[in-house]
Amino acid sequence: MDLYLAEDTICAISTPGGTGGIAVIRVSGPEAVSIVDSLWKGAPLSSAKSHTAHLGEIIDKERSDEPLDQCVATVFRRPNSYTGEDIVEISVHGSRWIQRETIALLIRSGCRMAQPGEYTRRAVMNGRMDLSQAEGVADVIASSSRAAHRIAMSQMKGSISKKLSTLREQLIQLSALLELELDFSEEDVEFADRNRLLQIATDIHNELQRLHNSFQGGNAIKEGIPVAIIGATNAGKSSLLNTLLDDERAIVSDIHGTTRDTIEETLEIGDYLFRFIDTAGLRDTSDPIEQIGISRSRKAISRSVIALLIIDATTVPDDSLDMTALRNHLPEELLSDTGISPSIIVVLNKVDLLDSSSKTKQAINTDKISIENVIPISAKHGTGISDLKHELTKIAKNKDTTDQNDIIITNLRQAEALGQAIESIRPLINGLNNGLESFLIAEHLRETISHLSTITGTIPSTEILNTIFSQFCIGK
C-alpha cells in the first residue's frame, strides 16, 4: 500500500447493503476520532477511553446543526484495534438515506472511501495479523457450513502462522550457521552438523507435504464437497436433484437425453456443504450436443468426492440384485485404474413403481440387500431421502480427518506456495545425502524460507497483497 494511502483516514459501511435495523460505519486512521468528534453531539469522543460506546447524535453542521441521526459511537484506540489505528464505529439506523448521508458527511470532513479489503490490509501492514490470518478472515465471512467455519476460525486465530513460523525459524537458524561457514570457507570448518540438518530438513519436508496434501480435502469442505449424480438417461437424476433442493432446478422429462449439460447446486446437510452436480445420462449417442454434455459429465465424475449412481429400480431383474449386476451400471471412469476413487452410493430410484411381489421390492423391504451403500428411494415422493442425506454426511465425516487441533489448508495460494517450498527442500535433502557444497545447500535453504514467508507475508509482495485484498468487501 502506498504510504500516502496508509496515512489517510478512511470510512466505509461495514454491514451488508440494504435496509436493516442498524448499519455500522467504520472510520479508521490517524484522524478518525477527531473527524467523528467534529460531527458529534454528546460526550466528547476525543477524551473517550478505548473500547467504550457512547450515545449521541451525528450533526450536519451545513444544515443549521440539524441532527442526522441518533446513534452509538464505539471508540477503539491504537494499537489495540482491528487495524492497529484509531477506529470509530458509528452504529446508525439502517435507513439507506442515513447511511448515504453519513458517509457523505464524513468524506466532506476529511475521510476518503476505503478500498476493498483496506481495513484488513492495514491490519496486516500494522502487524495485527499476517496474510494467512487475513485470508482466514475472508473465509470466516464466506463460510457456509459448520465444518468450513471451524477451519476458517482456526486459520484466523493463527494456526497456520504458528506452524509455519516454527518451521521457518528452524530453517533460519540452520541457514545462519551455513552462512557462517561461508564466511570462514577458507578455514574449512563446519558449524552446521550435516546429520542434524538432514533430520530437520526431512521432518520439515514431511510436515510441508502433510499440509499440502490437506488442501484437497480442505478445499472440498470450504467450497462444497463435490457429489456427481450419475446414471443412465431417465433414471431420475434430475428428479433427485430437485427433491434434494426442494426446488424445480432441473428439467424433468420422459424424453431420453433431456439433460445436455452439468447443473451444479449447493446444499448444506448437517455440518457440511455439498456441491451436487447433475450430469447428462451416460449412453451412446450420435447427437453432438448430447455428446458434449456426456463429456462434461465424465469430467465431473473424475472430480467428485462422492458419486451417486442412480438406477431405475424397475430395470433391475429380480434375481440380479448383487454388486456384479450393479457394476454394469458404473461408468468406466469408476472402474478403470486411474486413481479416481470417489465413494459410491448406489441409489435405487422409483421403488414406488415396483410390484409388491417383486423380489427386488421384498429384498428392499426386508433389508436383505447384501451390497453396502445401497439406498432405496422414490425421488418423486421423497421416500428414502433422509436415509440418503444421512449416508452423505456419514461419508463426509469419514473423509473429514480434521479435528479441532488439525491445521488444514483451504487456500490455493497457500497450497501453491507450500508446493514450491517442497520442491526447493527436496534438492536440499538430496544434496545433504550426496555431500553437496555449503553454498548450494544455503541457496536451497533460502529458497525454502522465501516460499514459506510468502504464505504469512513475512516477505511482503505488493502483487500478492493487491490480489488478496481486492477480493474483500469494501467494509472489511
Whether 378 has a binding-site annotation, put simply, is: no
Grid cell of 226 as nine digits: 463435490
Grid cell of 96 as nine digits: 439507506
Whether 283 has a binding-site annotation, put simply, is: no
The residue assigned the cell 548450494 is 440
Whether 256 has a binding-site annotation, put simply, is: yes
Whether 390 has a binding-site annotation, put simply, is: no
Rounded CA-CA distance 154/132 in Å is 11
Whether 196 has a binding-site annotation, put simply, is: no
**Interacting residues of 361 by C-beta distance below 8 A, sequence separation 6+:** 351, 354, 355
Whether 26 has a binding-site annotation, put simply, is: yes
Q: How far is CA 466 from the centre of its chain?
A: 19
Asked if 276 and 267 count as a contact pair (C-beta separation under 8 A), the reply is yes
Asked if 241 and 229 count as a contact pair (C-beta separation under 8 A), the reply is yes
Whether 341 has a binding-site annotation, put simply, is: no
Whether 259 has a binding-site annotation, put simply, is: yes
Rounded CA-CA distance 53/24 in Å is 13
Rounded CA-CA distance 153/221 in Å is 14
Specify the DSSP element, H or E, that contains 225.
strand 225-231
Beginning with the edge strand found earlier in the chain, give each strand of the sheet holding 272-278 in spatial order: 263-269, 272-278, 225-231, 306-312, 343-349, 374-376
Whether 210 has a binding-site annotation, put simply, is: no
Helix, strand, coil share (%) of the chain residues, nearest 5 = 45, 20, 35
Whether 367 has a binding-site annotation, put simply, is: no
Q: How far is CA 224 from the centre of its chain?
A: 9
Whether 475 has a binding-site annotation, put simply, is: no
Whether 163 has a binding-site annotation, put simply, is: no
Alpha helices per DSSP H over 184-319: 194-223, 237-245, 288-303
Whether 94 has a binding-site annotation, put simply, is: no
* End-to-end Cα separation, the chain, in angstroms: 16
Whether 280 has a binding-site annotation, put simply, is: yes
Give strand pairing partners of 311. Answer: 348
- Greatest CA span in the chain, whole angstroms? 93
Q: How far is CA 275 from the centre of its chain?
A: 13
State the amino acid at position 299 in one-letter form. Answer: K
Q: What are phi and psi of 430, to 5 degrees?
A: -60, -40
Grid cell of 17 as nine digits: 447493503
State the amino acid at position 286 in one-letter form. Answer: S
Specify the DSSP element, H or E, that contains 127.
none
Rounded CA-CA distance 452/447 in Å is 9
Whether 424 has a binding-site annotation, put simply, is: no
Rounded CA-CA distance 131/140 in Å is 14
State the amino acid at position 231 in one-letter form. Answer: G
- Enumerate the known binding-site residues for GTP: 234-239, 253-259, 278-281
- Enumerate the known binding-site residues: 26, 89, 128, 234-239, 253-259, 278-281, 476
- Enumerate the known binding-site residues for Mg(2+): 238, 259
- Enumerate the known binding-site residues for (6S)-5-formyl-5,6,7,8-tetrahydrofolate: 26, 89, 128, 476
- Enumerate the known binding-site residues for K(+): 234, 253, 255, 258
